[in-house]
Amino acid sequence: MAEKKYYPIMLDIENKNCLVIGGGNVAFRKIRTLLEYSANISIISRDLCAELRELNLNWISKEYKPEFLKGNFLVIAATDDEELNTRVYQDCKNGNIPVNVVDKPELCCFILPAVYREGGLTVSVSTDGKSPMMAKLIRDELREKAGFLDLIARLRPKVKQNREITLGTRGSKLALKQAEIVMEELKRYLPSLKIQIKTFKTIGDKNPDIPLQDIKEDDVFTRELDMAVLNNEIDLAVHSLKDVPEALPQGLSLNILPKSEDPCDVLVSNNNLKLGELPHGAIIGTSSERRAEQVRKLRPDLRFTPIRGNIDERIKKVEDGQYDATVLAAAGLRRLGLEDKIAEYFDINNFPTAPGQGKLAIITRAGGLK
């Protein structure tokens, strides 16, 4: 028998009657997807799992009968009774009603792909019903790409109108390089897009001598840029993702550039010494409590002193002898072509890094670009 192939199709099921037969966890997962598309859902099952009871849907607490199919746009058989699922499939087939039998792709007129939605973009992944888990994993890997492509879609009208967009960034060499990386990626999809760069000084930039832990703010490198986006002063802001606070100001949207760099931390030291080669009591310059604690576990004899400044400035402080070494993100050094300054790469499994390190964030207005 030839392998069955499915024609990928997206249906409008808003306000259409959809019937789910079964009341367990599998039925709940299928119903949750249908609800995202505003279907009118009825359930046939003698009992419902707790999650389905909370949804307060139309529940028919009876044994399945073929007449229940009448008037439904599509049907999903999600019981653990194979004989019943097969009977539902046959009844639907006789009544020309599209039917999906969970875990039985050979008994499906349609299948439910793993779906991710971002603005006007919908990404769906299917394994022809053979491996829903694999489809979900692939979908999750596409999330960041989907968000970026939705941003591209929102920028297209600017190209058609021959308008210029303004991209905001901090003024350091690394920040400007990161802005250029974002520009190049945007222009890869929209070659005619006109972009100008506007630089800002953030709280962190204005207070270079104050240890970050003393500022006690989680948006020291992002606030001024984010406010400029909200005030329509710029269209986009570029940040290192690790600098973005957990909660964005209301009215903003986060997009992640799919192109990322090595997320690990590295050691920069005098004479390119590795951590284990540094002399007893050597001074490590870092303003990160996380980095200090992780280095301390490996070398409890070392001393730690706060260090501020951009990458070039921190490297110069090490080379001038103010510090014996410092810990930096590999991503920044690689983006600036300073790999030769790296004395040692730390294994990310033993030396966990800040969430989002190596990735770039693009901030836009949640309501779209004007």
What residues contact 324, with CB distance under 8 A and at least 6 apart? 269, 270, 273, 278, 279, 282, 283, 284, 318
- What is the signed CA dihedral for 170, 155, 152, 231, rounded to 10 degrees? 40
Contact 104, 87 (CB under 8 A): no
CA–CA distance, 333 with 228 (Å, rounded to integer): 28
Of the residues 235, 243, 262, 324, only one is catalytic, namely: 243
**DSSP output for 115-170:** EEEETTEEEEE--TTS-HHHHHHHHHHHHHHHHHHHHHHHHHHHHHTT-EEEEEEE
Among all chains, which residue has been given the structure tokens 């986006």? 229
Buried-exposed string 63-93: b where 16+ CB fall within 10 A, e elsewhere:
ebeeebbeebbbbbbbbeeeebbeebbebbe
User: Helix crossing, 132-160 with 173-189: angle to 10°?
Assistant: 90
Contact 156, 190 (CB under 8 A): yes
Coil, helix or strand at residue 199: strand
**Residue spans of beta strands (DSSP E) within 242-333:** 252-256, 265-269, 283-285, 303-305, 325-329
Instruction: Name the pairing type of β-strands 121-125 and 114-118.
Output: antiparallel
Residue 243 is among the residues annotated as catalytic for this protein: yes
Residues assigned a catalytic role: 243
